[in-house]
A and B are shown apart, each in its own frame.
Chain A
Amino acid sequence: MVSSTITHHFVNDVTVLIDPGTTLDNNNAHEMLEVITTSQAKGCKYVIIDMARLEFLSSAGVGSILGTVESFREQRGDIILCNLPAPIKYILQVLDLADFLTIRPNREDALTACGMNK
């Protein structure tokens, strides 16, 4: 598998939007982790991960999200996943993560969950 480059941009001072590309595995999970932790260090309370293009999610990719989500929640923020393709949602369900993580059907709803679009 050719791993994707993780891209991101700040929607506002406290929200970053991440596009993991098509693959989130051992090759780029550390990159995802770095984007998340760096954004948090810059004052971000919310991370939105738009998974629309994601085709493959490995356990390392799961770890980069699960391992950081609590630190956002402790600061009354969150990591919000949106646009999940069926196979990706299935992997999260199998690991009992679908109810634990905040999942929204699309980017607009994810932004609303961050207190935007009101």
Chain B
Amino acid sequence: MLTEINNKQRVVVPEKISDQAVQDLSRQIEFLLLSSPTSIALDCSALEHVSSKHVNYLWQARQRCEKAGVAVFLYNAPESLIRVLDLLDLTDFFPREKPDHALTVTDDFEPNVNGVDSATRQFYQFIRAFELPALTLTELRTIFYEVATNIVAHAGLTAGQRVTYTVRVTDPLVEVTFTDSGRPFDPTSTASYLNVREAAKRGQKRGFGLALIHKLADNITYRRKVGTVNELTITKRWK
């Protein structure tokens, strides 16, 4: 999985820490260390209830990274985790990077239904960390889901390929760029007008995704980059 925060390698710490999850996380860290990063972000966005398992995991991750000479910091650590670290006198061992309004995250997903679901969940978790209006969060989540679903449905990507997305949150915009190497498709050239009464009369059950994207996004740009890469950027003003 390709995943970065402000060009720093990121590992997502899951809410549920099972033995399997610990093994997966350790593998991710080992994999990241192969590229000799200067620092690794432990993304704690998913944590709501913090247990000793989380602290143990964070400590092990820190020890492993320290051994490799790589700095570790916590990203979006919840208050509950900060309190626990404080109680255990571990705060100094885990410097934190709080979300601000100029963050970029890059990730990717498999071109299938599970990939879309998982990426939408990750995306939503990421943007929830910002103090965006509730309706903007709904709009962004819906846009992301519909765009990702459209790519998976129409780009003709095969199992080994990935769809990459970059989210940039600034003041006052959220910008999401999707790239894939599937069939070219320019959604900006497609009519997005939806006549509700006509659609109902026809019994139309599909094909509302583009209309929804056009209505919710402030701006959509598409380009076919040199080679075979589609790049679709959606912009949404949140302020």
What is the size category of the interface that chain A forms with chain B? 20 to 34
Does B138 lie within 8 Å of A66, measured CB to CB?
no
- Give the residues in chain B near A43, CB-CB below 8 Å: none
Contact of A87 among B134, B149, B203 (CB under 8 A): B134
Interface flag for A60 (CB, 8 Å): yes
Q: Give Cα A100 to B196, complex, Å.
A: 8
Q: With a CB–CB cut-off of 8 A, which chain A residues contact B212?
A: 59, 62, 91, 94-95
In the bound complex, do residue A95 and residue B197 qualify as a contact, i.e. CB atoms below 8 Å apart?
Answer: no
| Bound complex: CA A70 to CA B204 (Å) | 10
Chain B residues in 8 Å Cβ range of A3: 117
Contact in complex: A63, B134 (CB < 8 Å): no
Chain B residue numbers with a CB within 8 Å of A96 are 194, 196
Let me know if B208 and A87 touch, CB within 8 A: no
Q: How far is the CB of A18 from chain B (nearest CB, A)?
A: 16
Q: Is B200 a contact partner of A100 (Cβ separation < 8 A)?
A: yes
Q: Mark A59-94, 1 if CB is under 8 A from B, else 0.
A: 110111011111100000000000000110011001
User: Which chain B positions have C-beta within 8 A of A90?
Assistant: 135, 138
Listed A/B pairs (16) with beta-carbon separation below 8 Å: A1-B121, A1-B145, A27-B117, A56-B145, A58-B145, A58-B149, A60-B149, A60-B209, A63-B206, A66-B200, A67-B205, A68-B205, A70-B201, A94-B212, A94-B215, A95-B194
